[in-house]
Amino acid sequence: MTGGGVMENDSAAQPIRVRRYGTAGSFVVLLHGGPGAPGYMAPIARQLADAFRVLEPFQRGSGLEPLTVARHVADLHEVVQSHCGGSRPAVIGHSWGAMLALACAAAHPDSVRSLVLIGCGTFDAVARERLRATRRERMGENLLRREARLCQEYPDADERLKAVGRLYQLIDSFDLISYEDETAACDARAHEETWSDMLRLQDEGVYPASFAAVGVPVLMLHGSEDPHPVQMIRAGLAPHLPQLEYHEWGRCGHYPWLEKAAHESFYRVLSGWLSVHSA
């Protein structure tokens, strides 16, 4: 449905939740960031639902076994196989979700039709340090003190992760529209386990080198004020993704669909590109 979406469960072997939007058109899979912060991509899903059938998986949470990138890739591949009726979807990921989209397309090159990377995360230590430095510069003393107090204010790790996300959104953004935060309960352990495994794979040289297996069209969308250092991220991806396209908005941070200067253009660009690269 175009409204709030329909919630489904995968099979018992792959028990992740999937919200569905729209009843006609090509399939689109929408991947949240975090890791461990599902739900906040719902506004994009609703906007696209008039023209596409949108799937919004809630990535696997923490459990008996440590989470890995391979586990998330397997989950996403199962979602595609179970919900897309044999079709190859376009996959849209934000931040960590963009990284997961690339990892899945590299592992299963024939399972997706195209990729959209919104505010893509980092793939090397130098870019991560630039991200941290930019955030420190923007925060100033007051916000740095506020960040330092979060452990005391939020003893629960999941609530603390959500508070960190709200704090970083302040400094990662430029000028946001009024909106409702639809982030569901965060999962700090899922975040830590997944991100640690991604860093391990980068250290071992798996990513971004394995992205050379991705042969489908790839579009990178980024805001000029996003602290994620896009020129460094693009430079790291370009040797492995020569087909990479790029669109940037000025006066725009890490969440283009929420930025006053970019949100209308964001949907025009995204929908227009998908109409060509998802059919």
Model pLDDT for residues 124-177, shown as the tens digit of each residue? 999 999 999 999 999 999 999 999 999 999 999 999 999 999 999 999 999 999
Q: How far is it, in rounded angstroms, from Cα 61 to Cα 194?
A: 10
* Mean pLDDT across 238-249: 98
- Taking the CA atoms of residue 240, residue 243, residue 247 and residue 248 in that order, the dihedral angle to the nearest 10 degrees is 20
What Rg value do the Cα atoms of the chain yield, rounded? 18
In this model, does residue 15 exceed pLDDT 90?
Answer: no
Q: How far is it, in rounded angstroms, from Cα 250 to Cα 59?
A: 31
Task: Tell me which of 5-14, 119-128, 206-215, 249-258 is least confident.
Answer: 5-14
pLDDT band for position 279 (cuts 50, 70, 90): confident
Strand order in the sheet with 244-249: 6-9, 17-21, 53-58, 27-31, 90-94, 114-118, 218-223, 244-249
In this model, does residue 13 exceed pLDDT 70?
Answer: no
| Amino acid letter, residue 26 | S
Q: How far is it, in rounded angstroms, from Cα 44 to Cα 64?
A: 32
Residue 3 confidence (pLDDT)? 44
* Mean pLDDT across 241-256: 98
In this model, does residue 5 exceed pLDDT 70?
Answer: no
The conformation of residue 178, written as its DSSP 8-state character, comes to P
In this model, does residue 57 exceed pLDDT 60?
Answer: yes
